[in-house]
Each structure stands twice: as structure tokens, then as C-alpha cells.
Structure 1
């Protein structure tokens, strides 16, 4: 059993959001990562696909998720299961906080630039 203290949570900032890793393979876990996403108002993430499924539970605020061309609106209390290898992009007007879980490690594929990267909050 591992205990990850709040003071040991790993914080990663991007231009669009702040991810706080609570568990991952390099932080007390094995094959599962869990992190909190905080996105400020009027932000959009990149158009990308992940090679693993993700489960997002929205705690506050709201977001619109473009999931392979279908727009879904999520608000506090909603849970979204994002399938692997499916194009997605998140937008928010008011901002949101969500908790996310995913198998780890996983790779993000930026569909505009073609870049592939292992997000640091999942490793």
C-alpha cells in the first residue's frame, strides 16, 4: 500500500490547464494514473487522441468536449468515458475542475502537429 501525501502531489502546468498528479506509476501506483485538471475560463486544449481510455468526472464548472466531431456538454457531477484512439478537444467558457483516471503509461497524439508525447502527469 502506498500513501501519496497532498504535499507530494506532482503539479504540471500547460498553457491551457494545471494537472495535479495524485497517483501514477512513478508516484506510488502501478498501472493506473489519477490526476486533477483545473482549466481556467476561455481555454481550449489541443485536438488530440490518447492511446488509452480515460474517465473524467467533473467536480466544478463545465466544458464542451468535441469527441470525434460530436459536441458534448459536461457539468459538475457528470462523468465522461473517453475511448482510446478517439479524436477529442475540450473547451471551457467558465472553467472547470475534473478528476481523471487512466491506464498508465499512455501517449497523447497531437492531431494538428503529429507530435506524440507521454504526458508527465500520467507517467
Structure 2
């Protein structure tokens, strides 16, 4: 068994989102990809999709999301489940407080943004 600590996780910042990989291939995981995700107040992602299912569990704060054209709002303990290839836009619902989530998917996930496919660096 190996240990991957949040304190030692690399940071990847993108437009108000900070990704910190916990269980990914570069940190010892062979099947699952899990990372901590911090959202600055009021931040909103670009619309994108993934080729694998992805689950976001809200640890603190409130997030809203558009998943395949359906609006959802989630608070601590709630999970936002995104099917493969569904469009997603995720937002911090608060303009004053940060939000913290845990994201989980499977190793090898690719993101699709503006028609371009890539493996996010925090998932490797």
C-alpha cells in the first residue's frame, strides 16, 4: 500500500480552479484518478466534456453545474455525476466563499474543450 498526501500533491492552476492530484498514475494509482479541486469565489469553467464518467463530491461551499443542459446545485456531501461525453460547466455558486471538491474518474480520461481532446496534467 502506498500513501499519497495532499500536502505533497503538485498544484495545477487553471482560470480560478486549482487541481491537486491524489491518486493518479504518477502518484501510484493504476485504475482510478482522484484529485482535490479548489474553486475561487464566483469562478466558472468553460463548457467541456470528458470521455469517461466523472464524479465531483462537494467538501465545502456550494457549486452549481450544467450537466448535459440540466442545472444542478450541490452542497457539502452531495455528488455531481457527469456521464461520459456529457457537456459540463461547473461553477462556484458563491461570489464570496471558495468551494472545495473531490473529483474522481478513471485513469486515461480525456477532456474535450472546443473540439480538442487532451489528457489533463492533473489526471496523469
- TM-score, normalised to structure 2's length? 0.91
Structure 1 segments (4+ residues) deviating >4 Å: none
Query: Whole-Å Cα distance in 1 between the matches of residues 68 and 115 of structure 2?
Result: 17
Unaligned runs of 5+ in 1: none
Aligned to 1:52: 52
Alignment of 1:1-123 (within 5 A): 1-94=1-94, 95-110=98-113, 113-123=114-124
Query: Whole-Å Cα distance in 2 between the matches of residues 122 and 7 of structure 1?
Result: 17
Say which SS state the counterpart of residue 26 (structure 1) adopts: helix
Q: Kindly tell me: are residues 37 and 7 of structure 1, through their superposed partners in 2, closer, same or farther at Cα, counting changes over 3 Å?
A: closer
Deviation (angstroms), 1:11: 1.3
Unaligned runs of 5+ in 2: none
Contact 1:25–1:105, Cα closer than 8 Å, also in 2: no
- TM-score, normalised to structure 1's length? 0.91
Higher strand share: 1
CA RMSD of aligned residues (A): 1.2
